[in-house]
A and B are shown apart, each in its own frame.
Chain A
Amino acid sequence: MEKRVKRGKLEIMRDIIFIIREHKNLIKPTPLLRKSNLSSTRFQEYFSELKDKGFVRETEEKKNKFVSLTDKGFKFLERYQTIIGFIDEFEL
């Protein structure tokens, strides 16, 4: 059986941002939690961090909450490979 490698913090952040983008930049928190493959506590931790960093924003439409990406969130996704390449190169 193939052993699953534990995702790092940056990878989890990338995954959450990626899911939002794949849903035409508008997704409800519950499906986002489900698709991110995290426990609700861990999801809340990462989601709060993403909000604090200004990568995602929450909006409300007709009493429904939606999550979407900010420009900074798009930039993170765009720069993700470069960042990972840099971390690997210098063994950081």
Chain B
Amino acid sequence: MFLTFLVQLKINNLVYKQGGLEIHKSLKDLSLVIFIKMGPQLPIGSFLAGGIGVELIYSFIIIVCGLMIYFSTKEMDKLTSYEGIKYFRLSFLFFALAYFFRYFIQFFLFSFNLKGILEFSPMFFGAISLLIFLYFSSMALFFLLYSVVWKKWDHSRLTITLFNLFSLIIAFASIFIGGRLIYLIINLILLLIVLSILVIAHKNSKKKPKTGSPFIIYLLLSIFWILNITDVLIPKFLSIYQLFVYLVSIALFMIILYKVLKKTGN
């Protein structure tokens, strides 16, 4: 009888070597899925039972919300080429992409029996998807900020280049420098940048504050998204509050999606 096992490893304080590639200590908190293939196919049920089910549903909701916001504002962007709309929708596309790379790639590889790639080098694959996740997450946050403050910042090309640069630094530093303290410092710096830009933009805003101002939603979304990143990098750090972080993040995305659909008339 053929059997297929799913083994989820949390690597602690170990440096692994595989196929000549040295895996850095920074990957110690990364949950890795290692397949011990003894049979042809792994049922999806086993995958969900592996503790990834909740996160997969969460990722799916975030991806759907992000893509719905992106596509429902497409017509407006095409008609106006308005910078604010462009960066707003790009931000949600990047949120969706970040979560796609976080879980769905692993899920698809699993489901469609493309295990060979993971067998070849699971840690390398995990590091790449984490790198892409961190890059897209940071870009999403920066674009969300830029959609609010673009009128005050003249050099859009320079700003976008700086955003890309910062996001790449955050992603590579998280992968190659590693360590919980480094992760926390990186996220704290990111949070401080995001919050200070949002608060300054809100203070300088000439518009009178009205009920349901998006400022609070953006602020909360930024905080909870950084908690999401922390959760990926240091799973144990937020393990008790993980579900709470997921639920609040979903609620914030749903509120924004509702407002977008209401305003676009879709």
Residues on A close to B: CB < 8 A? 9-10, 53, 72, 75-76, 79, 82-83, 85-92
Known interface pairs A72-B79, A75-B79; A87-B84 also in contact (CB < 8 Å): yes
Chain B residues within 8 Å of chain A by Cβ, number:
22
One digit per residue, 1 when the CB lies within 8 angstroms of any chain A CB and 0 when it does not, for chain B 240-261 equals 0000000000000000000110
Measured CB to CB, the nearest residue on chain B to A76 is: B79
- Whether B214 lies near A91 (C-beta < 8 A) is yes
Which one of A53, A85, A92 contacts B84 once the chains associate, using CB atoms below 8 Å? Answer: A92
- Whether B80 lies near A83 (C-beta < 8 A) is yes
Residue of A76, A82, A87, A91 ringed by the most chain B CB atoms within 10 A: A91
- From 129 to 172 in chain B, residues with beta carbon under 8 angstroms from any chain A beta carbon are 147-148
Which one of B80, B82, B213, B263 contacts A91 once the chains associate, using CB atoms below 8 Å? Answer: B213
Could you give 18 example pairs across A and B, Cβ below 8 Å? A9-B82, A10-B82, A53-B81, A79-B75, A79-B79, A83-B76, A83-B80, A86-B73, A86-B76, A86-B85, A86-B263, A87-B82, A87-B84, A89-B214, A90-B88, A91-B213, A92-B84, A92-B85
Bound: A82/B260 CA distance, A: 11
- Whether B264 lies near A91 (C-beta < 8 A) is no
